[in-house]
Chain A
Amino acid sequence: MIEVKDVHKSFNDNEVIKGVSLSLNEGEVVTILGPSGSGKTTFLRCLNFLEEADSGSITVNDHEVVFGQASANDVLQLRRSMGMVFQNYALFLNKTAKQNIMEPMVIVHGYSTQQAEARAEELLRVIGLPDHGDYYPSQLSGGQKQRIGIARALAVHPTVLLFDEPTAALDPELVGEVLKVMKAVKDAGVAMIVVTHEMQFAYEVSNRVIFMADGVIVEEGTPQQIFESPQEARTKTFLNRFTVN
């Protein structure tokens, strides 16, 4: 139900995405791995128009949007069905944790304040922060902020959640609590596209793993296929540094 076709993106004369396609079914988790500069983050950001791809298309729930020809309304509708979790959490600094979760519900999706508040409180419980609703981001640790960021994206029932290296800015002790929440997101049946370096997570939680390098998909398969029997030399080189249990 999510189809991304043949994305191309150049920065000036430098082509960073050279025809990448991806499809995702409901509830599926796809992890994109790759070295820095492979284009994986740029690709992810093209999906919700944070970057403007030069060509290709994305179809979510039978609604197709063509890169380069999308109207502002197309982009808005697309974004309303996709959530994003950022490497630096990107919580609204002028709102409390609970308000962060509530705002998109009320402002973008027309929930009433009571509905939004009830759902926000429920999500706070679920991510393990029931008493932190009135704290501002400046008073929270990175792991807490990221969990709230996930809750904020999740609150509006997105079709797919995009994760841009969600744990890259966290120290190792805090990574675990965020990965736990991400597993729970999968269990709740939300499709996820995750760009990450957390190999263990990719192995355990993904339905599919994509390895990207130099702007193309080098190899794609199940976690078992990619981690245990990679076919391409490039993939092997990359994975050599990681041992998976």
Chain B
Amino acid sequence: MNSFFQPHLIWQYFPDVLSALPVTLLLTLVSTIIGVIVGAGIAYVRMENTPFLKQIAAVFTSFIRGTPILIQMFLVYYGLPFFLGYVGIDADDVNALVYLFITYGLNMAAFLSEIIRAALESVPATQREAALTSGYTKRQMYFKIIFPQAVIIAMPSFATMVISLLQDTSLAFTIGVIDVVGKAKALGTATFHTVEAYISAMIIFIILSFILERLFRWIEKRSNYSSRQMPIVATNPVIPVIETPKTS
């Protein structure tokens, strides 16, 4: 077994490592979705100052942001079945991935809740007033005016969180899930060419991150209405008299 570094192995291992890509992607996608939904709930509770839930949300967020994600993962993976056992639920056959969805999902939720809250509060108050005085219901106001603007405001920070999550999923192998990093580790253990295997994995992450970054930037450009380059046309000083008949 030759233990010198052999660059050609990087490309040789590539397809094998790549085969675990769906796991990494699935982890990132599901955790992001959970993060958005739960994060929005936390943001709502904190903004509406709901008495009991607001404190729970604050403690939860502090905890998540104040502990390493690895510890959160172990707590969920080893601790949750234990507690569920107390309530009589058997968690023996649950796929390890589910624990990761919970861990990463809640982790994302804590960070996203702040991004969501900040974005919602960045929408100018007069947007609310204009909508309400036009006769919009609260629901119409939120879905037509506030949320669309908040989403665009939140997009850059959201992009950062998602790409960061992608890198964080690399810890999944510690509970035995075979994602891209897990595959690389297994390969390295079997062949003793761990460096080449990890470089192979690293290349995949670099490409994925690049794609994600480009994707988000494209989304931002397409939906951003405050920096379009259309020229400001001179105002028309002559205004004809209104002859608007009152027809509906």
Contact = CB atoms under 8 A, between A and B. Distances in A.
B226 A138 contact: yes
A103 interface: yes
Interface string A123-143: 101111101100110111101
B18 interface: no
B239 A188 contact: no
B206 interface: no
Interface in B118-142: 124, 126-127, 129-137, 140
A21 B232 CA distance: 43
Interface in A32-90: 48-50, 76, 79-80, 82-84, 86, 88, 90
Interface string A164-177: 00000000001011
A92 B235 CA distance: 20
Most chain A CB within a 10 A radius of its CB, from B127, B133, B144, B235: B133
B94 interface: no
Contacts of B137: 76
Contacts, number: 115
A127 B239 contact: yes
Contacts of A136: 225-226, 228
Contacts of B227: 138
B129 A86 contact: yes
Most chain A CB within a 10 A radius of its CB, from B132, B233, B244: B244
Contacts of B145: 92, 94
Contacts of B126: 86, 88, 90
B239 A82 contact: no
A69 to B, nearest CB: 19
A107 B138 CA distance: 12
Interface in B209-248: 225-228, 230, 232-233, 235-242, 244, 246, 248
A143 B234 CA distance: 11
A180 interface: yes
Nearest to A176: B237
A83 B63 CA distance: 47
Most chain B CB within a 10 A radius of its CB, from A48, A90, A132, A154: A90
B31 interface: no
A177 B235 contact: yes
Nearest to A87: B126
A122 interface: yes
A141 B242 CA distance: 22
B241 A184 contact: yes
19 contacts: A50-B129, A50-B133, A79-B134, A84-B130, A91-B130, A93-B149, A94-B149, A109-B135, A126-B240, A128-B238, A128-B239, A128-B240, A140-B232, A141-B235, A144-B235, A153-B134, A154-B244, A176-B237, A184-B242
Given A94-B148, A143-B235, A176-B237, 6 more contacts: A80-B135, A128-B239, A128-B240, A129-B236, A157-B246, A184-B241
Q: Which 4 pairs across A and B sit closest by C-beta, in order of nearness?
A: A90-B130, A80-B135, A184-B242, A90-B126
Interface of B: 124, 126-127, 129-137, 140, 144-145, 148-149, 152, 225-228, 230, 232-233, 235-242, 244, 246, 248
